[in-house]
Chains A and B, each alone.
Chain A
Amino acid sequence: DTAVSQTPKYLVTQMGNDKSIKCEQNLGHDTMYWYKQDSKKFLKIMFSYNNKELIINETVPNRFSPKSPDKAHLNLHINSLELGDSAVYFCASSQAGEDTQYFGPGTRLTVL
């Protein structure tokens, strides 16, 4: 019973393509997040959603569009992929904004 799951685990694609990453949590949490972790392990928040509503958008390019169809899912769509988008993307969830976050296993995106 995986608490926070992400698909796919690996994503290799060409520059200019569009791709999506899916995230699901079965913890009944109200808040979900997307993070980007670069090659130096620096972890930066991209988006926070609470009850399906966007709360935080950390100056992420418009090419990144999150969508939350329900409280258990937060998907990330990326248009016109660039080399700099290569990173590991983590989905996480928490009961409230200041609570412990539960992370998914990550999606390693490689843009060629």
Chain B
Amino acid sequence: AQSVTQLGSHVSVSEGALVLLRCNYSSSVPPYLFWYVQYPNQGLQLLLKYTSAATLVKGINGFEAEFKKSETSFHLTKPSAHMSDAAEYFCAVCYTGGFKTIFGAGTRLFVKA
């Protein structure tokens, strides 16, 4: 069965500091992995996705994530946080031919000035 675990419901960083949001997945078949961002009172939008083409995936707004099969992880990073990065971040997993995407519980990112 597929599942997604996001470690830390809240993460707080200072502006300019490294952002690291953790995601571990469980899937019996090669997964498609996603990171979505949700700003207040808005729908989710895609940051980046892994589809087996490359293990290091670059997304929008300077975010990137690395797929590590041995660790079943897909952590999201950004070298330098900006105030505008404050939002809710969701890791998600799906598989080929599937119509059900499983979302993690979300991590709220706070950015301090």
Contact = CB atoms under 8 A, between A and B. Distances in A.
Name A's interface SS. strand
Contacts of B105: 40-42
Interface residues of B, number: 26
A101 interface: yes
A39 interface: no
A36 to B, nearest CB: 11
Interface of A: 4, 31, 40-45, 48, 50, 55-56, 58, 90, 92, 97-98, 100-106
A99 to B, nearest CB: 8
B34 interface: yes
Interface in B56-113: 88, 90, 94-103, 105-106, 108
Interface of B: 32, 34, 36, 38, 41-46, 49, 88, 90, 94-103, 105-106, 108
A25 to B, nearest CB: 12
A100 B106 contact: no
Contacts of B99: 31, 48, 50, 55-56, 97
Contact of B98 (A41, A98, A101, A102): A98
